[in-house]
Structure 1
């Protein structure tokens, strides 16, 4: 079959990885038996070994970096090493749980006694390693989330986004990851769950670099035009200069368009040079066309 024929025969063929269709993930609102029926797959399901290998490699880099940040004599594969990581801030607590996930995946994937198979669309990993019995059943979307969390952790370490912002994104990713894990067992048995701060759209953000803000008593009001007040549809990050300091404030942190003055410090951008300047990479985010002089309106 020629290239053009393949394109017509399979509409999923040939797209770049830059395409971002809507995400679809399972959610269980009630505890009930499965009601839907499905066609039999045309071929036996095979575990996505390439994806598992990619996530396992990301796990190695992640764990090695943590080892450099928090030196210890404990082995990377040891459970004691996992428990030895700092867990003071909300972000550190989620990182500890992510470390448990990556450690378990890597341990099973790279051990001679580790087993991987597909059952009913779920990637089932497990094995008896040493004196422990490990289980890790996860969806393909869950694998993608693990790799995404590791990549975001590396990106966020040196980004201008406030730590409170990074914590919120990371917590939402971990919440979604929990929904993709079907079974989990390591030395700590189950993963910890965290109370959500509130709704936050981690999938897509709008960036606004010219918000109108007003200081009122003990808070700041950000003027949001009526068409954009639905924060679920318009998840806006406001790049606001307040008290000569740049802040990045997500709309979800506002209450009726207001934020308390006492809460402003945690939304200060982590800029290194000028407290009101962003890195050069942000120039493209906020690019504008210069209006042409004496051109008729269309």
Structure 2
């Protein structure tokens, strides 16, 4: 565990989240969904030129095809330049590609520091991580939920903190993927599922002319048994999500069915939360914290 809660059951955190949800809605209003696709075996599109010396918008690449399908990039290769990456491929990139490589190859999705572009809308398919008998979405550095295009349009909540706050360090200095933070609606079926074998796992690649082992991605389960989480749900008419205590989701105590795998912890003592600035934005509904 990294010592800090990502989600808080407080009025301040709820107001922050609602502010960010309205930002997601603004991005969706200006979003142009890809109308063409690229998959393994198709000829690569023309190599694009990266815009220089101008404010970055998505207009230059709105016509680019979206990658469809998922395969092992270490065996069959990566999608070419000039395509849009689905959230499933964003997940693959964070696991297996260095920061410099992803910002050079897929500059439409990533900033120069390797973070996701703040104006990017989730697209296409995605992965879920499976641990403690539960499925949860990968969350880039506790900020951006890789929930896929359909879920993004349905619930309009994929930002959990301001992107600038995350890029300067936030909850982790690593370009890591968090699990145990945001959960899908109960009964939702996901094709791409990744079994998490431990609470912390490093992806190591050999990079450079004289290959050296470099950690390029980290996946970690960050929730304790008594921490809070976000659950997407259609039955809530006033909000598309609720903040719940993880124990209400009835997790298994061990990460995998193996009784010797990592166990859930119970958070002890006061919690120091590096929270973003507070906004007074919307009244808090009395039931935003769900008790099942």
Instruction: Please report the TM-score for the alignment, with normalisation by the length of structure 2.
Output: 0.24
Bigger radius of gyration among the two: 1
Higher relative contact order (CA 8 A, sep 6+): 2
What TM-score, normalized by structure 1, do the two folds share? Answer: 0.24
Which structure features the higher share of helix residues? 1
